[in-house]
Every structure is written in C-alpha cells, then in structure tokens.
Structure 1
Amino acid sequence: MKTLGSTGLTVSSVCAGGSGLGSMPDVFGYDVSADQAVEVVLRVFDSPLTWIDTSNGYSAGESERRIGRAIREYGGLPAGFLVATKVDALGNDYSAQRVRDSVAESKERLELDDLPLVYLHDPEFNVFEEMRPAVDALQQLRADGVIGHVGLAGGNPAELGRYLDLGGFEVLLVHNRWTLVDHSAEALIERAVSDGLGVVNAAVYGGGILANPAGATKYGYLDAPDAVLRAVADMDAACRAHGVDLATAALRHSVDNPNITATVVGITKPSRVDALEKALAADLPAELLTQLAALLPDRQYWLEG
C-alpha cells in the first residue's frame, strides 16, 4: 500500500482499469457484457486491489453504470476501497458547467455521494487558453467539498506540463508514455514527484502489444514503427529465455518504479485479477532487466505527444 502524493489517500500499487468495462469493441476489439463487467468488479472487490479507475466518458457512461451496479450488488463499497473517475467533455463542451454536470452524472451512475478523486480528462485535445474555466470549476468543487481531490489525466507530456503549471492538481495520470518501449513521460513524472503529486501510470501494455506481442501491431492506438515492433519481439524473446512472460515484465517496469505510486491495468475478465497477483509476485532476474533496458527504442520512435 502507498500514499497517493499529498492526498492522504492510501492505495494499492495496481489500480483496476475500468475503460473496457463499458465495452469498447472499436478500441479493444471485443465486447464485454454487463454481467461480465459486474463479475469483474465483484472479483476486484475481493482481491488485494483497493481501487478502480473509470471515467464519465467511457462508453458514454456505461463503465460507471456497471461499476455502480456492482457496488449495489456487493452491498456497498468494501472498506477502504476507492473509486476514481474523470470529468469528460460533452462534444466540444468543456465549460465550467459541463465540469459540474459531469461530476453530478458520475455520482448518479456510480450511486456514490463520495468521489475521493476526480481527474480532468484528456484536456490536451482542447485549446489550452480556453480550458481555465474547467480547471477552476473542478478545483472549486474540491473547495466546496463536492469531490475529494483533483487529478490531471492525459497523454501528451508537454501539454500536461502546461496544466501542471496552473497549480492545484494533486495527482497526475499519464498513459502510454512510460512503458518498456517508450519513456516520453520521464521528465514529466520526475517533475510531478518533485511537486509533491502522486503519479499514476496507465496503458503499460501500450494498448496491447506488450501483452500480446504475437498478435498486436499497434502502440498507443497507432501503427507501431518497425523499430518498436523489433524491440517488442526482442524483449519477448529475452523474457521467454528467462521463463518470464512479456506482460509481467511490462507491468513490473511500472510497478517497480519508485516514482510511480500506482499502475492502472485494464481488467475485463475475472481471471486477470489472479494473473496480476502472480505477476506482482514474480522474480525478475537482474540480467533480464538489464537486457530489457538496453532494448528500449531510440527516442525518435516514442510517442512524445
């Protein structure tokens, strides 16, 4: 268990990711039924994981609805369990009123009065100069006691840095930019830690390629460059030679980083919870870690933005 920056919240080193729970076949390539999603959340509740990450915008709110149903069927949240969600725009609307509406919608879907952590989600897709009202609104909701703590979640390190300059954020969530094959967020993560923020790392499998090296060809939702594909293949071979699967190494690359408080891992099957527990207990040889570090692709092949 770790303390999440200056929030005082105590969390497990792995957070269950809820993006797929609402079913996103266009993104993940498969459907997830409502019953399966609820079964996953119920399994998470009975596991060592102490929190789950979702968003107002995941499947138009369906992820939150299914998590809310699981909470109801469980008879309420387990003691000490935390649900983190995110504020999302509606179309092109990322106004102060939209921020307030998004939080209210999340509370209704999740059937929770207490939202201990709410992120501003993917603000880099909007005009920075027009986003200050949304930032101020979210932080005012914290001041008014409507939410607990305020986080910032996105991908583009340079743009996220501009938002951190505004101040007031307590947690940084970054995705696809700190993995075995991409260190784009290294400076941003170090800056966040220096500023006292808790750091949460997401998409450590790069959208699937580091969990399914034989079948996936995209990294961060884009076609992976040949240099990345070669690195993944070489990393997979190195892991196999040491009796370790690549997905375990990809997870531990994040979990074992002292600057990262927690790692978000998408879970859409109950069996994945058991696999996570096994990966966290695995012994990774020092020789393997050295080999993997040497195989990191050149910076020109990282996502950066």
Structure 2
Amino acid sequence: MTDSQPGPILPVRTLGKTGLEVPGLCVGCAPLGDMPATFTYSVPEERALETIRAIFKSPITFMDTAASYGDGESERRIGIVLKELGGVPVGYTLATKADRDLQTGDFSGDQMRRSVERSLRLLGLDCLPLLYLHDPEYTTFEAAMAPNGPVEVLQRCKEEGLIEHLGVAGGPIDLMTRFVETDIFEAAISHNRYTLLNTEADPFWDVCQRHGVGAVNAAPYGSGILAKGPRAYARYEYDEASREYVEKAMKFDDACQRYHVPLAVVALQFSLRDSRIHSTVIGMSRPERLDETVKLAQTPIPDELWREIESIRLS
C-alpha cells in the first residue's frame, strides 16, 4: 500500500457484508482495455495510463475492471500504474472479475483459477481485494455451483488468501438472483438493467438488501445513449438501441433541456439517489472525465424535472 491521499472526499457507503467503505461513484475500467468493438472507439495506452494515474489522485476511490476487458489489457495497464505507485494507494478499492476463456469459452473451475492467477500477475498484487464471478450467463447455474466448478474454486482461492472478498457480476436478473440467494457472495453487479430506460433490476436490489449483499449498478447511461444523448449516440448496451428506447430517450433529453440540466446528470443521479445501491459504475477513458462525473453527481435537479422524468419513464 502507498500513502497517497484522495482529493475531496465523496460520501461513502459500506458495501454490504464486504465491510468495504466505497463512494457512490466507481470508475469503470472496461474502456481502458481498448475495446473498440464494444465501445466504437479506441483508447491508446498512454491516455489510459494518464487516466489511471488520475484515478488514484481523485475522490472516486473505487475502481472496477475484469479479466475479459481487452482480454487482460485493462488489468495490464492498471498494473503498470500500480507498480509506479508501489501498490494500491491507501483508501482505494480495486475490484476485478474472473472470466471464461475468451477464445475457447471454457468456464470451468480450472479456468477460474487461471483467470485469478493471471489477474494477480497483471495487476502485480498478492491478493485481489474484491473479485467477482463474471458473466455466469455463459454457463449454467448448476455448472457454476457444481463440485470443483467455478464457484467452489473461487471460494477455495479466497480460503487460500488470493481473494479477500467474493462477488458475482452478470446480466440476466433471474440468474443473478439465484446466485445472490446462495449467500456465498458478498457483492453483486448488475449492468444496463437499472437506467431511465430499463429498470428490470429493480427487484434485484431488494434481494441484495435482504441478503446483506453489496449492490453495484453499472452502466447507468445504458452504455452511452443517456450520456451523449440519443441524437448523438443511439446505442444501448453496446448495440443499436431499439426505436422505443430512442424515442423515450429523446423525451428525457427534451425535458432536461427545458430545465437546462444535462441528460447525463439525471441518468446518473437516477442510480445515485436509490438508497439500495451502494455504488454506481461509470466507464471512463480520459482523465478529465473524473472531475466531470463528480460535477454531474453533485448538480442540483429541480423536483419539477424529477416529476416530469418519472412521468415519461412510467408512460
């Protein structure tokens, strides 16, 4: 650990039974893995490194990556900066995720161990502070929970001191609910399913709360349409947005413009204002996005605009 101190402190919450104290904002490091096929833009290494260095000087003291982001590239770049700093700075929490083999699709217990060991190597750490089982929709619940399967192997890695806290991160809400209900996991991430356009994860946050599981909402902008606006970027969950989503997003955008409040402010605070959610993950690829995101989180929103947004959302 290093003794670097964060900037101005953001309010923190306890991330469920992990006991970790994390801010309501979390930096998503997927774009830093240079994934143009997913995000439609590339992130050169030097810009990624500048962004990572800026993260470790910022008030956003929670960051999230995964073995699959750039097939290790995001972790490798973070590891370069961690080596410069002599480890994860005091007060910061770094989370990553164990993944299937992206070439073969292997989602076995053995693959989970290989993924953990590679993450440790790329990040230059002896122990992963928080690791999630990632994208379990690429296997089945039964296979994931089988003897010597992915979950059991990750539990073993935790017992061996390779992982401090174990979570689960994925898409389908019914599947994610089954994993949380096992009471094995300490934190859970849902992505693209709790936004102004899609609130499928709404009951999931209640399940997390009942089981004392740290609740993390990722992609409140729906991968961009609710940040850049539907007229500039009509994509949701890394693909072309449906006509229904585009039309509704335009209504949100028009309402926000009438109140002179950026759409991104409302989209972000829709997640931040939900007390069941401990932290919200925002993907970032430039240093300046850190301060911009803090400002978005702190921008006042008139009650009248919230009422109009709710009316559009429920229509």
Category of TM-score, reference length = shorter chain: over 0.9
Q: Alpha carbon RMSD of aligned pairs, Å?
A: 1.2
Instruction: Name the counterpart of 2:168.
Output: 152
Distance 1:252 1:139 in 2: 35
Instruction: Name the counterpart of 1:104.
Output: 117
Distance 1:193 1:37 in 2: 35
Q: Residue 227 of structure 1 contacts residue 297 of structure 1 at CA under 8 Å; is this kept in 2?
A: no
1:166 CA displacement:
2.8
Which segment drifts farther, 13-22 or 226-235? 226-235
2:28 maps to 1:23:
no
2:193 maps to 1:187:
no
Q: Residue 221 of structure 2 contacts residue 264 of structure 2 at CA under 8 Å; is this kept in 1?
A: yes
Distance 1:266 1:197 in 2: 23
Distance 2:151 2:136 in 1: 9
Deviation readout 1:233-254 (Å, 9 max, x if unpaired): 0101111111110011111111
2:233 maps to 1:216:
yes
2:258 maps to 1:259:
no
Instruction: Name the counterpart of 2:253.
Output: 236
Q: Residue 200 of structure 1 contacts residue 261 of structure 1 at CA under 8 Å; is this kept in 2?
A: yes
1:107-186 to structure 2, matched below 5 A, reads 107-132=120-145, 133-186=149-202
Identity value in percent: 39
1:297 CA displacement:
5.7
Which segment drifts farther, 225-234 or 264-273? 225-234
Which segment drifts farther, 271-280 or 124-133? 124-133
1:84 CA displacement:
0.2
Distance 2:151 2:173 in 1: 18
Distance 1:139 1:54 in 2: 20
In structure 2, give the amino acid aligned to 1:189.
Answer: W
Instruction: Name the counterpart of 1:302.
Output: none
Q: Residue 136 of structure 2 contacts residue 144 of structure 2 at CA under 8 Å; is this kept in 1?
A: yes
Aligned-partner SS, 2:72: helix
Distance 1:239 1:88 in 2: 39
Instruction: Name the counterpart of 2:19.
Output: 8
Distance 2:121 2:219 in 1: 27
Q: Residue 124 of structure 1 contacts residue 156 of structure 1 at CA under 8 Å; is this kept in 2?
A: yes
TM-score with structure 1 setting the length: 0.95
Which segment drifts farther, 160-169 or 65-74? 160-169
1:71 CA displacement:
1.4
- The aligned length equals 298
Aligned-partner SS, 1:148: strand
2:79 maps to 1:68:
yes
Q: Residue 127 of structure 2 contacts residue 161 of structure 2 at CA under 8 Å; is this kept in 1?
A: no
Distance 2:84 2:49 in 1: 9
2:57 maps to 1:46:
yes
2:310 maps to 1:289:
no
Distance 1:229 1:276 in 2: 23
Q: Residue 87 of structure 2 contacts residue 125 of structure 2 at CA under 8 Å; is this kept in 1?
A: no
In structure 1, give the amino acid aligned to 2:299.
Answer: A
TM-score with structure 2 setting the length: 0.92
Instruction: Name the counterpart of 2:9.
Output: none
Aligned-partner SS, 1:59: coil
Deviation readout 1:245-295 (Å, 9 max, x if unpaired): 001111111111100000000010111011012112210111111111111
Structure 1: runs of 5+ lacking an equivalent:
299-305
1:75 CA displacement:
3.7
Q: Residue 158 of structure 2 contacts residue 166 of structure 2 at CA under 8 Å; is this kept in 1?
A: yes
Aligned-partner SS, 1:73: helix
Deviation readout 1:10-38 (Å, 9 max, x if unpaired): 11111110001010111111110111101
1:74 CA displacement:
3.0
Distance 2:49 2:122 in 1: 14
1:70 CA displacement:
1.3
Distance 2:183 2:19 in 1: 18
Structure 2: runs of 5+ lacking an equivalent:
1-11
Match of 2:286 among 245, 251, 269: 269
Instruction: Name the counterpart of 2:8.
Output: none
Q: Residue 134 of structure 2 contacts residue 170 of structure 2 at CA under 8 Å; is this kept in 1?
A: yes
Q: Residue 180 of structure 2 contacts residue 211 of structure 2 at CA under 8 Å; is this kept in 1?
A: no
1:170 CA displacement:
0.7
Distance 1:42 1:221 in 2: 26
